[in-house]
Amino acid sequence: MSATPAPTPALMHIACPRCGKLRDLPHRDWLSGANCNWCGGELHPLTPFELNTAGYAAQVNHSDGMIVVHFAERNCTPCIFMDAVFEQAARHRRDLRFAICHVEDEAALVTQLRIRNAPTLVCFDRGRELARISGTLSLGQLLDWLDRHQYAGSVVPTSGNDVRHRRS
């Protein structure tokens, strides 16, 4: 596969993290924090959103932009550690989407995706798996891992400070 990034679409097709409805909106409106016109929820929340089996197709297969999913178990100490790192990464990388899937609630999805242990992080671009990694990472390691894999997807950082350092 070529690692040449496709241009960021000016118009983004994206599912609302709260109600799951798909809509189109300018990429810049998504980055700057637009709300869903169906449910009023945030289309690009500052913290990772909950991903379940029902929302999986819309969020992972049909939405534009790379999504990073943290497959976590609620009472697992390494997962709780990774929750905090993941939340920080979501604040650093506003150009990506971050979601948490609790493995004990989503057995069918876990089987389908062959998630064998938690914590596991998987990057998807329009349903295509780009990378996965299991175990705990520091924030620096996680950001490096994201840098290495995002160019295999369709998301490119827009030219500047507005993305990476906004709200940090």
Q: Which listed range, 13-21, 61-69, 90-98, 131-139, lies at the site for Zn ion (CB under 5 A)?
A: 13-21
Provide the CB-side half-sphere exposure for 87 (13 A, CA).
9
Residue identified by tokens 């798909």 is: 22
16 or 96: CB nearest Zn ion? 16
15 is a contact residue toward Zn ion (CB under 5 A)? no
Whole-number Å distance between alpha carbons of 79 and 85: 10
Q: CB of 108: closest distance to Zn ion in angstroms?
A: 24
Judged by CB, which is closer to Zn ion: 6, or 54? Answer: 54
Whether the bond into 119 is cis, omega within 30 of 0: yes
One residue of 12, 15, 16, 142 binding Zn ion per CB under 5 A: 16
What CA–CA distances, in Å, run from 38 to 17, 20, 32, 117, 141? 12, 10, 18, 36, 37
Query: Could you give the CA distance from residue 43 to residue 29 in angstroms, rounded to a whole number?
Result: 10
Of 18-47, binders to Zn ion (CB under 5 A) are: 18-19, 36, 38-39, 41
Q: Which is nearer to Zn ion, 35 or 154 (CB)?
A: 35
Footprint of Zn ion on this chain (CB under 5 A)?
A: 16, 18-19, 36, 38-39, 41
